[in-house]
Homo-oligomer: A and B are copies of this chain.
Amino acid sequence: MDRRAFNKLLGGLAAASAAPARLSAAPSRRIRRIATEEAFTIPGHVTAMRALAAGDSREPDLDFWRGLSGRNSFGEKLLPRLLDVEQIRLAEMDRNGIDMQLLSLTSPGVQMLAPSDAVAMATQANDVLRDIVSRHPTRFAGLATIAPQDVAASVKEMERARHSLGLSGFIINSHTNGEYLDDQKFWPLFEAAEALDGAIYLHPRAPSPAMAEPYRPHRLEAAIWGYQAETGLHALRMIMSGLFDRFPKLQIVLGHGGEGLPYWLTRIDRRHVARQAMVPTRLARLPSEYFKSNFTITTSGLFSPEVLKYCLTVLGPERVMFAIDYPYEEMDEAARFIEEMDIGEREQRLVLEENAMRLFHIAPA
């Protein structure tokens, strides 16, 4: 038996034994588990990021790459798992009943590289992703990396990614050189995403240089706090800029429970209305209305049954998707989180499978 056949068999066994009791009774078809924020990298990307990290830049994102270079459990565990897709990862997916991963180049993608290097690296990473997806079309899908520092080239790469490479959508890792996507110079990216029916996953990176300093004590600039502070602000800036009035079909995905925004919708709306006299905006709708129609959130890195329930209540089950954040989070913990979801079967079906299928053009099983 070759490795693929073995993996398939193992996957079937794991999936069968992992299916929760309450699901095995009623439904005619097992719910697939599609994880939608799963990181990988390629050797060229690691080399480029390590070269940046060897310099004297104080950008907090580089601390991560310095850590990755070290001989510690962080570097020894994460780096092999980021570079691997078809060995360690598929076996872990099989063991934990994860049917499919939507892959994306790990943060900060190519956004810290010089523009021409960034465009070339994005092309290379997207080609690798196409190859992986071609070899395992039922196990992997992919989000195309783009380089917002070259908008025109990125628009071309977005077209290539959707039309030629068969990729599912796009990923942008928050700010690019301290600039945010509410700046109209970036809006051709949204025009392209809308035209190509490709959602953009707005993935975190550490706070931009103009806000990073107060996060440095206790190293709070990383995933423990700074990631959401950076990305939640970014998403709100996008909403308040009016770009969703201009591109009403644009779909943005936010990981980590929507980077905190779902918790704040009542206050954001109330403050927005209360300050119209002081801060007039041209928004056609309330901020929360854009959030509920132009955003989908995922469970990456936030395996809390209470947060999940809260989000299902305030956003509705069509706006919440399963994600792990592999390899930064463990698949077995994600699988346990699924087992402990105390939600209805329709909600499980939407969260684990159908929302991802619809948003990312994933074929039926």
Q: Give how many A residues have a beta carbon under 8 Å from the other chain's beta carbons.
A: 61
A241 located at the interface, meaning its Cβ lies under 8 Å from any Cβ of chain B in the complex: yes
- Judge whether B233 and A214 touch: CB under 8 Å: yes
Question: Is A310 at the interface (CB under 8 A from chain B)?
Answer: yes
In the complex, chain B residues whose CB is within 8 Å of the CB of A322: none
**Most B CB within 10 A of own CB, among A73, A211, A232, A267:** A267
Give chain B residues whose Cβ lies under 8 Å from the Cβ of A307.
Answer: 263, 266, 310
Copies of this protein in the complex: 2
* A307-B266, A313-B306 known; A207-B211 Cβ under 8 A: yes
Chain A stretch 180-209: residues in CB contact (< 8 A) with chain B: 180, 182, 207-208
Complex Cα gap A207–B304 (Å): 29
The interface residues of chain B lying within 8 Å CB-to-CB of A236 are 218, 220, 225
Query: Which residues of B have CB within 8 Å of A233?
Result: 214-215, 220, 225, 229
Contact A217 B229 (CB under 8 A): no
Q: Closest Cβ of chain B: how far from A205's Cβ, in Å?
A: 13
At the interface, yes or no: A222 with Cβ under 8 Å from chain B? yes
B214, A208: Cβ atoms closer than 8 Å: yes
* Interface presence of A6 (CB below 8 A): no
- 5 A–B contacts, CB within 8 A, in A order: A180-B214, A211-B212, A219-B275, A220-B240, A266-B307
